[in-house]
Structure 1
Amino acid sequence: MEAPPSPPRARSGPLASLRDSRAFRALWVSNVFFFGGAWTQTMVLGWIVFDTTGSEFLLAVFTSARLAPMLLGPFAGVLSDRHDRVRLLNIACGWALTAAVAVSALESVTDAPYWVLVLAGLATGLAQSPSQPARSSLVLELVGRRNLSNANALNAMAMNMTQVVGPALGGAMISAFGSSVALWISTGWFALSLLALWPLRHADTEGARRAAPEPVGALLVGGIRTILGNRLAAGVLGVTLAANILLWPVYQAFMPVFAKESLGLDADGLGWLLTCSGVGGLTGSLVIAALGDFRFKGALFVYGTAAWGTLWALFALSRHVAVSFALMAFIGLLSASFGVLQTTLLLMTTEPSVQGRALGVQELAIGVMPLSSLCLGFSAQHVGVATTTLLSSLLLVAFLAVLALRLPGLPRYRGV
């Protein structure tokens, strides 16, 4: 195999990493289609679940199954540090395509029962979550440290572009043609993602050359000790954990409830509500990409996430469609400060030898969503989704205020 070219020097402009690295362009295009398939399928399956059961709790159970594979994050991180990351992504795309074909075909011939929808969500999660450490750490190998913020912002743009297109298209297809057509669309996205990885098939990444002789357990324990011994990395992971306990489950599980009960929207309206978030996230990612290797990474991460939590509190109180759409757009805008920088800061504050495992621990922190979704679903069933979201938002803002006081090095971190 040929060794990959040296990472390009940092250049200005929001699309610098896409211009400078052919390998990163291929990965980015694959990510666009992969996230597109995941967003479309998650939105459609979630709508089917709530439409057929009318239960917030059963919707939370579905979401928990969809997100449960995140608990495999640390083991996926070990695989990312030991094996060829491109090969791991090909396996993940192939599994996603297989699972999508199966659930789409079943929904086309019959109304899938609830347990089948839960299994479909689990299958999609098994394709997406365990591949994330390889997907994210491969970026650093392809573009280098100075281009990392730009490249991660472009990856966040890919996700937010699919949030714009995927839910809107999924909602429109449900309204016009039914759920099975929308599921087949997500199947096509996964197929295109697999094809986009083809140019990377001969890439000899560092992950392929690092096949460590230590047992998996020793690698896992040693890596976690190293990561948690780093106060800045631990602080970044703490923010990730808090956000995924308190607020991300609301977005993942309860947007159909807000749309239907608080705002009186149908499936098409839900798609456009999620599209507002995607447009905002796309804009925020573009701004961060344009900033390049900027100096206030830590401050934007901590204070931007706090502002994001504040906007969620306002959204929970809103009962006006126009106001809620505007708030969701700004929520998406500020979500970029969290979504982009949590990975950028974690990679910058850890050693290359443990970066896959660091991202695996991050995936585990995100993986608390299945449990927190159940807890928030139980709360929503008794006190309502709006009250649950309001309290969760205020708790996140309070946590970030305490963190800024106890770990001032994190909001001051420049990473340059």
Structure 2
Amino acid sequence: MNKNGSDAFRKPESYSSSTTDLTSSHPPQSAEQAVKSLVPTEVPAPDVSLAPTPEQQEVATAHPVGEIVVAPADSDTARVGSGRRLRPHIRKPRVPRMRAPHIQPRVPRIRPVRVHTFDSFLHRDYRFLWASTLFFSGAFWMQQVIIGWLTYQLTQSALLTSLVMGLDALPILIAGPLGGLLVDRWDKRKLLAGVFVYQSLLALGFGALVLLGDVNAWHVFGFVFLMGVGWVIADPARMALIPSIVPRHSLVNAFALNSLAFSITRLAIPAAGGALLAIAGAGAALLLQGAIVAVGAAMALGLGAFASAGQSKLSPRAALSEILEGVRYIRENAVVLGLLLLGFIPAVLVSPFLHGLIPVYAAEVYKVGPATLGLLMSAVGAGFLTGTLALASLGDIQRKGLMIMGCIALICVSMAALALSPTITMAYPLVAIGSMGTMGFFSITSATMQSILPDGIRGRVSGIYIMTFGAMPLGNLTAGVISESMGAPTATLIACGLIVVAASALMVLFPSLRRL
């Protein structure tokens, strides 16, 4: 036995009889014979079986192909003391998860395209502001019908009638910056409501004077001028309130919907005002106008409070200094200055030569009566309405400069086609298309400017900007002089050429306008 207690290497007994005595007298053997004499004659073969064990058969049945399995060689080595069978660690193949047959595969959801037409109405204060604008503009269009008819009845003069129709723009041209300064220094909500109350009382008082029968032409001129004073504050206040109510990306939508209020009332109120004028007279119609403006004042008071940016006391020297501050801001900001100069194009060259000459086209070019003239004026309102709805549906416009140039191009094409159109059938859509471009221009330029202006100077710059509307009577006078001497189509073509020259020059002088 060796030192490990194993007798595996014990010399077999057969070795004792088969060994060779080297000292004996037998003849010597070769080395090969000596080695063979040391090995037993019969060595038992090892008991090796190639048949698989039961464990191997079990594994082979579970994993027929492609598995590498390590299993014990016999059953004795595969058992542990307690009799529990040891199974080799075999990695199970991955089987793809199958969806239950009753569960349908997920279909990607197709989201509907969202229309942004009325996004600004989601804001409570904007709804009140829009309602006040709706009543205010309705009263204005009723006033236009009443004053035009009353002035002609008193004077029998077409010249005086046309002058009084544009007289309310004169205060804007004179005192627009002062109104913007007041908007910057006091609560815009209270200012707007106060202006509406002032105009309501003025309309009620003048209506009572007309009912008494003691009214002259100078009363009408005075009434229109005093009503225009209210516009000096109302327009900058409304323009400055919108950026305080809606987010910046919704400004185009908000200004378009603000213009929608004017478009709706321009379509509906003149006809209703004319019917009321025929039934009840000018005095009763003026009383109704005062009541409508009073409702607009109540809507303005529904707005949230907006704190003033300065003191309530204002000396003339301080007022002049602050107005000049607004002028310096415009001069130093190329985009604002370019938009301000662009604003003179529709006020001087578009509205007077397109909308202002529609009565001349009806009477002298197409030879039609007042009924057809009314349809042409309705085409103007339809174009305004369509333009505002389309613009409001676009949401936030990224390339505002490109849109402004597109509106100007649309105006020029429609004006040139109207001047060359021989029939009134084509005049209806051309007037509507030109009105669409005009409304789009006003809405985009106003929204772009308000998105740039800081709050502290917004009112003053807005007051200077609305002075462009004050230049409209000058355009009306020029259009009347040219059309009387050369005809309405020639006057429209001249204005169209001037629009192209002025817009191209401004786009070259102010490259920042193209990058808006």
TM range (shorter): 0.7 to 0.9
Match in the other structure for 2:320:
217
Query: What is the deviation of 1:398?
Result: 2.4
Match in the other structure for 1:204:
305
Match in the other structure for 2:368:
264
TM-score w.r.t. length of structure 2: 0.70
| Structure 1 residues 140-179: aligned runs within 5 Å | 140-174=243-277, 179=282
If you compute each CA radius of gyration, which structure gives the higher value, 1 or 2? 2
Q: 8 Å contact 1:34–1:189 — kept in the other structure?
A: yes
Query: What is the deviation of 1:253?
Result: 5.2
Once residues 160 and 56 of structure 1 are traced to their aligned partners in structure 2, the CA distance between those partners, rounded to angstroms, is: 26
Query: What is the deviation of 1:405?
Result: 3.2
Structure with greater contact order relative to length (CA < 8 Å, sep ≥ 6): 1
Name the SS for the 2:466 alignment partner.
Answer: helix
Once residues 135 and 449 of structure 2 are traced to their aligned partners in structure 1, the CA distance between those partners, rounded to angstroms, is: 25
Once residues 187 and 236 of structure 2 are traced to their aligned partners in structure 1, the CA distance between those partners, rounded to angstroms, is: 12
Once residues 213 and 139 of structure 1 are traced to their aligned partners in structure 2, the CA distance between those partners, rounded to angstroms, is: 26
- Say if 2:193 is the partner of 1:193: no
| Structure 1 residues 12-411: aligned runs within 5 Å | 13-19=116-122, 21-49=123-151, 57-71=159-173, 72-110=175-213, 112-174=215-277, 179-180=282-283, 182-200=285-303, 203-206=304-307, 208-211=308-311, 215-250=318-353, 254-259=357-362, 262=365, 264-266=368-370, 270-316=373-419, 318=421, 320-411=423-514
Question: Which structure dedicates a bigger proportion of its chain to helix?
Answer: 1
Once residues 261 and 177 of structure 1 are traced to their aligned partners in structure 2, the CA distance between those partners, rounded to angstroms, is: 33
Once residues 122 and 347 of structure 1 are traced to their aligned partners in structure 2, the CA distance between those partners, rounded to angstroms, is: 28
Match in the other structure for 2:28:
none
Once residues 198 and 139 of structure 2 are traced to their aligned partners in structure 1, the CA distance between those partners, rounded to angstroms, is: 12
Change (3 A) 1:397 1:42: farther
Once residues 253 and 462 of structure 2 are traced to their aligned partners in structure 1, the CA distance between those partners, rounded to angstroms, is: 18
What one-letter code is carried by the residue in structure 2 that aligns with 1:299?
A: L
Q: 8 Å contact 1:173–1:182 — kept in the other structure?
A: yes
Alpha-carbon displacement from aligned partner over 1:348-400 (angstroms, at most 9, x marks no partner): 23333221111111111221223333343444444444443432233123211
Query: What is the deviation of 1:211?
Result: 3.6
TM-score w.r.t. length of structure 1: 0.85
What one-letter code is carried by the residue in structure 2 that aligns with 1:44?
A: I
Query: What is the deviation of 1:129?
Result: 3.5
Q: 8 Å contact 1:81–1:356 — kept in the other structure?
A: yes
Query: What is the deviation of 1:31?
Result: 0.3
Change (3 A) 1:212 1:99: closer
Once residues 126 and 317 of structure 1 are traced to their aligned partners in structure 2, the CA distance between those partners, rounded to angstroms, is: 40
Change (3 A) 1:146 1:188: same
Change (3 A) 1:271 1:294: same
Match in the other structure for 1:8:
none
Once residues 53 and 380 of structure 1 are traced to their aligned partners in structure 2, the CA distance between those partners, rounded to angstroms, is: 24
Change (3 A) 1:116 1:168: same
**Contiguous gaps of at least 5 residues in structure 1:** 1-10
Match in the other structure for 2:91:
none
Query: What is the deviation of 1:32?
Result: 0.4
**Contiguous gaps of at least 5 residues in structure 2:** 1-113
Name the SS for the 2:249 alignment partner.
Answer: coil
Once residues 289 and 111 of structure 1 are traced to their aligned partners in structure 2, the CA distance between those partners, rounded to angstroms, is: 47
Query: What is the deviation of 1:259?
Result: 4.7
* Count of equivalent residues: 398
Sequence identity percentage: 28
Alpha-carbon displacement from aligned partner over 1:282-310 (angstroms, at most 9, x marks no partner): 22111111111121212112220232243
Change (3 A) 1:212 1:225: farther
Query: What is the deviation of 1:181?
Result: 5.2
Change (3 A) 1:378 1:106: farther
